[in-house]
Amino acid sequence: QVQVVDSGGGLVQPGGSLRLSCTVSGSIFSIKTMGWYRQAPGKERELVATITSGGDINYAESVKGRFTISRDSAKSALYLQMNSLKPEDTAVYYCNTEASSSDYPLREYEYWGQGTQVTVSS
């Protein structure tokens, strides 16, 4: 069983910062991609940032220059440093990974964290 746990959300003022963390544990065979997604009330879930095993990074246009995604392969951990937060960043943030399990190492699946709330006051 693969487990994904994300944390670090909270309440901040506009212009403030937060650092989200995500850990992946369990019967992981290999990790292809890790990323952060978010979903605001009444809106669809959207991509925030992703990073591949090769180090390629992709950001949503709305967060470029403000958010930084990083990965610690040894710990199977993912981070999202969020600076200059805006009210429109308010959402539940979810950690995601595309990985293969030891139960079936030839196929990759998507695994999701439970979500962590980020609220930026207006």
Residue-wise pLDDT for 62-115, tens only, equals 999 999 999 998 888 999 999 999 999 999 999 999 999 888 889 999 999 999
Whether residue 33 has pLDDT greater than 90: yes
Res 85: pLDDT = 98
Residue 74 has a pLDDT of: 85
Nearest to 76 by CA among 31, 18, 9: 31
Torsion of Cα atoms, 91 then 94 then 95 then 99, to 10°: -140
Residue 41: half-sphere exposure toward Cβ, Cα within 13 Å:
5
pLDDT at 57 (0 to 100): 97
Q: Tell me how far apart the alpha carbons of residues 35 and 114 are, in angstroms, rounded to a whole number.
A: 14
Sign of the CA dihedral with 48 first, then 54, 55, and 56 last: negative
